[in-house]
Amino acid sequence: MTKSTRAGLGKVLLCWLLVLSQLSAPAQRLGGQTYTDPRLGYQLTYPSGWQVHPGNQNNTDFYAGESWETAAAVVTFHLRPLPDNRKDLNLLRAGQPDSLWQYVTSLPRARVLSLTEHDAGRAQQLRYEYAYDAPAPAGRTRVIGRRLWRNGYEYCLEYRAADGPADRFRDAGRQLVESLRLIEPGPPSRRTALPAPEGCDDKFYGIAALRIHDDIWEDDCRTIHEFSSLDPAHPPKVHRQVLPFQSYALAKGFDNCLYSVTKAPTNSPEYVYRYNPATRQGEYTRWQLPAQGQGGVWISGATDDRGDLYFSTTDGNLLVRVSPAQNTVATVWSTDPLRRASYFRSLGFAGAGTHANFCFDADRTLYQVYSTDGSLLRIHLDTRQPAPDILPLDGLPERGGYSGILLQNDELGNRRLFLAGPKAIYQVDLEGHEVAKVRRGVYTDLAGCNLFRQPPPPEAAPLPPAVVPWRGRVLDAATLRPLPRAQLRLRPTTARTDTTFAAGTGFRFPARPSQAYALQLRLPGYLALDTVLLAAADPYAHDILLRPLAVGATLELENVQFARGQGELLTSSFPALDSLAALLAQSPGLTIELRGHTDNVGDPEKNVELSQRRVAAVKTYLVKHGVEADRISGIGLGGAEPKASNTQETTRRLNRRVEFRVTGIR
């Protein structure tokens, strides 16, 4: 096979043999509107002119047409929870591609155009395209779809419309399906949580400020609520009245124990109390904090990246560090560093709210929350240098009362900021400055430390697969029935060794990713196929069509092209014409009629003349390559027999073609 032949054929083959199907118009990026559903965790773009039809809470339809009931094309999104016995599985390895293959090939006159699987680690997906005979009135139907599996859910997006060249919505539908992407947060994960690495776990905690006693709300500040960063909106586990004193301050150590100190304004040294949520047991430590100062109260606690515990007083003037590893207590500062900031006067006036509730970031930045409006203040712990500005947050309730702040990693390692507000806990997107309410409740302080958990050593990048299975069937192009007697020969274009095997009811071939293969397909009574396959990077499947050689059968000469508006053949046409000449040489009793067609643009009489000249050019080429002239007749039909709509270029180009009709077989 020559280099020019491979180039001409290879570009129409990527993962499946497009040379076997009708050529579709080149994809054009279509404008559209973005549709986002953060609750279900997906986003897509639907084309201009399409409409949205909401279904139930897990279904949405996008359609083209005047109404959903009479839509010419529909793309349906569906989310469903996986069964409990499959929610933790990698469904690609658990046979989902086989299940889809068996389902599609069981449909009437089904043809698999593509079926490609991809494992992205956290999510897996199948892309597929097939056609089948649906019950009336739908008739022949094309389906283009994607199925993705994440966190114990299946996301499915499918395009459905009538199959055939008249389907003017296919490109738009394919682009809509391809535009689907999964976003956060989405529904809460249903997968069984993996054991946390050694060190700080994913749980975080809050001191409940209030409780109901005898149907009356009263101060609590001794009960601790336990949350999971995987789903902080879920009702917390309650550790009721486990502190021996009322407290505003809570820190979580790397040992997953909680540390607290009394809120009483004693102005005397106070011991730190340790509570173990796993055993529900507590005890005083030997660590003693210094006196708070006149009128001072320990208001907040936090943990840094080294596992040290910190406690701050109400006015921010006293910050104390407890180092469990060294078993020491030290004063970090005794004057609030924010006093050096130009904006401090707007915070520290008489009667203003406190700004001493704090937490740490991984870069040793101390974040404080201004209780009046929830704005954030920042100080670098090592340099004691305050940030030059205040970071406001949009979307928080205007009423003051922000009393706790915590930076925590979610299950994907994304940094999340939680604020304890006047009546609820809020989650803040620091990049987009967006705020979402997590759950109701009043808390004096929040504590967690998984932001500083050391990740496990990275695994070596997986090696690309040595081979990827290519699966398919050989089908009769007219009846779409399998041809088990067909013989396939595959050879890497860089080698000389062939692999020959029978198609059977289905074949499976181990292809090397991105390797080009020369493919030959032979079966008596059918048009031989010689083409090039470029293997995909992932396992995939598609069916191959063989065109029958029966009297009256009309077959298109694909890739036969001419100079625009002229009768001269382009060199890219030679491989297809060489294949036809070889067929005629191998079947001396075969006679054909060449049939030329144009679109309807221009003068009809000139179009007939142009089609006649193109038929003559094809006949001349075949005769020069050894075919007897009397075995070839020809007719130019101009635009009289269109195979697709002439209203737009994407389908009009399908009408510019040359076919041959079998007129005799001996």
Token pair 């070889």: residue: 582
Please give the domain boundaries of the chain with CATH numbers for all domains. Answer: 32-182 (3.40.1000.10), 204-452 (2.110.10.10), 481-548 (no CATH), 553-665 (3.30.1330.60)
Phi and psi, residue 449, nearest 5°: -150, 15
> Measured between alpha carbons, how far is 257 from 276 in angstroms, rounded to an integer?
5
Tell me which of 302 and 437 has the higher pLDDT. 302
Return the DSSP state at 652.
Answer: H
Could you give the angle at which helices 604-624 and 574-586 cross, rounded to 10 degrees?
Answer: 60
- Residue pair 448/204 in contact by the 8 Å Cβ criterion: yes
For 344, phi then psi, to 5°, come to -60, -35
pLDDT score for 194:
57
Alpha carbon distance 653, 22 (integer Å):
11
Flag whether the pTM goes above 0.85.
no
Name the average pLDDT for the chain: 85
Query: For residue 10, which phi and psi values (nearest 5 degrees)?
Result: -65, -35
pLDDT in tens, 2-17: 333 333 323 323 233 3
Round to whole Å and give the CA distance between 87 and 53. 29
Pick from 497-501, 631-635, 660-664 the range whose average pLDDT is largest.
631-635
Please report, for residues 316, 440, 446, the alpha-carbon distance to residue 381 in angstroms, rounded to integers and kept in the order given.
13, 32, 19
**Bridge partners of residue 534, in order along the sequence:** 516
Checking if the pLDDT of 157 tops 90, the result is yes
Task: Say if residues 82 and 72 touch (Cβ distance below 8 Å).
Answer: no
Q: Which of 188-192, 244-248, 545-549, 602-606 has the highest mean pLDDT?
A: 244-248
Lowest-confidence segment of 23-32, 167-176, 404-413, 502-511 by average pLDDT: 23-32
Q: Which pLDDT band holds residue 279 (cuts at 50, 70, 90)?
A: very high
pLDDT computed for residue 220 by the predictor:
93
Task: Pick the most confident of 29-38, 46-55, 318-327, 560-569.
Answer: 318-327
Distance between CA atoms of residues 71 and 327, nearest Å? 72
Q: Measure the CA–CA gap between 11 and 18, rounded to whole angstroms.
A: 10
Say if residue 62's pLDDT is above 90.
Answer: yes
* 455: confidence class by pLDDT, cuts 50, 70, 90: low
pLDDT tens digit sequence for 337-361: 999 999 988 876 655 678 899 999 9
Q: Are 261 and 273 in contact (CB under 8 A)?
A: yes
